[in-house]
Amino acid sequence: MTSTAHERATIAALAGFADMTTARLRSLRSGRTADEAYALAAGMVEPTAALSHEFRRSPRLQDRWRRSAASITPSSMAARCGDSGIEVVLPDDPHFPTPLHGDPRRPEVLFVRGSLDSLDARRVGIVGTRNPTRRGAQTAARFGHELAAAGVCIVSGLALGVDGAAHRGALAVEGARPVAVVANGLDQPYPRRHADLWAEIAERGALLSEWPPGVIPEPYRFPQRNRILAALSELVVVIESRERGGSLITAHEAAERGIDVFAVPGSIDQRSSAGTNALLEVGAAPASSSDTLLVALGLDHRRARRTAFDSRPRPHGVEADALERCTIRPQSVESLSMELSLDLAGAAMTLARLERSGWVAESGGWFEPVDEYARFV
């Protein structure tokens, strides 16, 4: 049975209560109507033994919820969502995402800007570090662009770094409809520098959150967000990750759900590849190109794909050798001089010519290759 507008507004209001978590909201809703759950949290009725012990034994939590109820009512939340163009979707609604229905930690409510029809396409989750190398960011943009061009919906967390690059790459494809799952209310873009991405994804694809307008991106919300990101994906690829981080949590959440996890191999000397290389060691599949992911989805379009024209002059001789070395690992003038047996002036001139022709870029004294996807980074 489809939920009513009043039920959606009531559960949306509850989700905005101070210190509300997915588990607490699930406990409140268990065996109760939306009105009964709201009345219990608001202190209008006495808590029963069926409610979680945490709530029954915590006067502080009860007090915070009572104070929340004074300012967050179903009608005020309905108005706030309406003003922000946010749709409230409950599990009983027919367009609640199918992959989440049977999830062991299904969200009790989703807030949506855009269209959930975007999830009808094949779906790949792309995640990674917020501080990628230039190569990592370009790889994310390449994967996002090439997968979107093959009709795949890119699902990510819209964080800085890999997430943002993947979405920018996808949005450069006409007709792409990416999906972003975020950890705060949809009325305030986070991070702020991604405000343009928020707006474009909401217009062309969908922004999702289990938190209502006004909720700030507190640290504990990000790991909760990652389970939804994983559950919505048919497979997840990690592009650069340190030893710890949210992308590894997403990979773990995917593996727990039987969703294939891929990782882009990286240099053992790069800390940004420590997490992805560790995933490969424990059984993740390597993804050296987007073709690997398309094959896994049964969407191998390599024979039909046109080769993109690259207007940069092809390097030859020592410049080709230098570019190859930069592709293997970032090079400084000194390291390239040693690897190619050039004097320092010769190595510097070679790198300068490659930089002028658009093949490498310098950052902090190190030169890395640049590809056609650098414009998305």
**What is the percent of the chain where pLDDT is above 70?**
92
> How far does Cα 279 stand from its chain's mean position?
18
| CA distances to 8, 59, 264 from 16, in Å | 13, 19, 38
pLDDT of residue 31: 86
When pLDDT is cut at 50, 70 and 90, the band that residue 62 belongs to is confident
- Per-residue pLDDT, averaged over 276-299, amounts to 93
What are the tens digits of pLDDT across the range 227-276?
Answer: 999 999 999 999 999 888 889 999 999 999 999 999 999 888 888 899 99
Q: Exposed, middle or buried: residue 105 (CB in 10 Å: 0-12, 13-18, 19+)? A: middle
Domains assigned to the chain: 114-297 (3.40.50.450), 317-376 (1.10.10.10)
Whether the pTM exceeds 0.85: the reply is: no
pLDDT of residue 59: 81
pLDDT at 356: 87
Distance of CA 203 to the CA centre of its chain: 17
Question: What one-character-per-residue DSSP string does 155-208 give?
Answer: EE---TTHHHHHHHHHHTSTT---EEE-SS-TTS-SSGGGHHHHHHHHHHSEEE
| Spatial separation of the C-alpha atoms in residues 270 and 273, rounded to whole Å | 5
CA atoms within 13 A on the CB side of 312: 17
